Amino acid sequence: MPIDPLKIREDFPILKRKVNGHPLIYLDNAASSQKPKQVIEAITMFYENHYANIHRGVHTLSQEASEAYEEAHAKVARFISANGSEEIVFVRNTTEAINLVAYSWALRQLKPGDEILTTLMEHHSNIVPWELLSQLKDIHVKYVGITKDGVLDYPEFEEKLSQRTKLVTVVHVSNVLGTINDVRRICRLAHEVGALVLVDGAQSVPHMPVSVKELDCDFLAFSGHKMLGPSGIGVLYAKKEILESMSPFLGGGGMISKVRFDTSTKKCKIDWNVLPWKFEAGTPNIEGGIGLGAAVDYLSSIGMEEVRRYEEELVSYALKRMSELEKIKIYGPSDPRMRGGVISFNLEGMSPHDVAMIMDQSGIAIRSGYHCAEPLHDAMGIHGGTARVSFYIYNTTSEIDIFINKLKEIEAII
């Protein structure tokens, strides 16, 4: 069924509050989304009725907690069309998922002279780990630029892709430009030269249908807090055969099946646990995983095709209304079909931070700054960052109208 944002808003308690005397208009969803009561209640239910450590005991509470946590893995696997929960590792966030790949796979697999190919539109989380890795090993990180329209330069990508490329790591949807990258094409080209592909899905998985089988990516990283779930929980998907070949990222309880001391060699022999627990050391964020499972249920009940369709409508409407301003510069593709629910912009003569502060005085929450993508801003010749609005299923065209009217007020005083 088509999305009814007014009905959906009833599920989000925070949207009933006021900020600085005005009804909250939350347009900072690319940074983090709000939480429906179904997610809040799932976490509360767990704490009040089922809380215990998982995989540790045979008593009822431990069994219930373990089953709920494991089922959350299964829900996520179905959500992204993975082959099973063995391919779903819970981590803290997208950043940790990318670092897990960097240190458990790349650090051990890459050899001197190997190359990692990425892009200038990446979040810092998909830049810094690879630059750190290049300091530990003699490997090279290469960057693909963007066109003047804010689209990935695919000819340059193909030119820089070579037999030396062992990993391509690319954002699915830019958190600044909103650009939707052709990940299927990127994966196909990368696999032709024997490279693996890591996709940063932080801005795509919450907002559109994502199937790892259709993309044929080797790794996919995303965060729960951007998709109606709690903070402190994220996901690394990886193909089963790759996870089986990798060594654990963290060592400790839960990620081993057996540890025994060999008296003859005076050493410990360690057997790793089965997937995915091999990569989930220590007591995990159990309630976070359960909350993420509830968020997946909520989004699934709506349908990700409908989520994408509705956000495209919002972006199209917002771009049309923003074009009414005379002193505005909008970044990224002009076609809403080519972008996610993100619009970054600047007003001539005013800092993006000042724009955001004035908006906040009217209860409108937007983002300002570099959005953890400073190299992208540098490549576009932008100094001081941008202002950014980003949408989700509970936003409305009437909220966009209020936002536009405020922009016009600001423009009038510049």
pLDDT band at 263 (very low <50, low <70, confident <90, very high): confident
| Residue-averaged pLDDT of the chain | 97
The residue among 211 and 257 whose pLDDT is bigger is 211
Question: Which regions of the chain carry the CATH code 3.90.1150.10?
Answer: 5-27+303-413
Q: Compute the average pLDDT of residues 264-287.
A: 93
Q: Which residue has the higher pLDDT, 56 or 49?
A: 49
Provide the pLDDT confidence category of residue 266 given band limits of 50, 70 and 90: confident
Domain span(s) for CATH 3.40.640.10 in the chain: 40-300
Q: Which range among 57-61, 218-222, 267-271 has the greatest average pLDDT? A: 218-222
- At residue 264, the pLDDT reads 81
Report, as an integer, the average pLDDT of 152-174.
98
- Which tens digits make up the pLDDT trace of 283-339? 999 999 999 999 999 999 999 999 999 999 999 999 999 999 999 999 999 999 999
pLDDT computed for residue 56 by the predictor: 80
The whole-number pLDDT of residue 57 equals: 87
pLDDT at 401: 98
Architecture per CATH, 40-300: 3-Layer(aba) Sandwich (3.40)
Mean pLDDT score, 233-254: 96
Does residue 1 register a pLDDT over 90? Answer: no
The correct answer on CATH 3.90.1150.10 for the domain covering 5-27+303-413 is: yes
C-alpha dihedral over 288, 291, 297, 301, to 10 degrees? -130
Active site residue 372: yes
| Per-residue pLDDT, 265 | 83
Q: What pLDDT score does 262 carry?
A: 84
Residue of 187, 217, 268, 372 with catalytic role: 372
pLDDT grade for 178, boundaries at 50, 70 and 90:
very high
For residue range 335-356, list pLDDT tens digits in order: 999 999 999 999 999 999 999 9
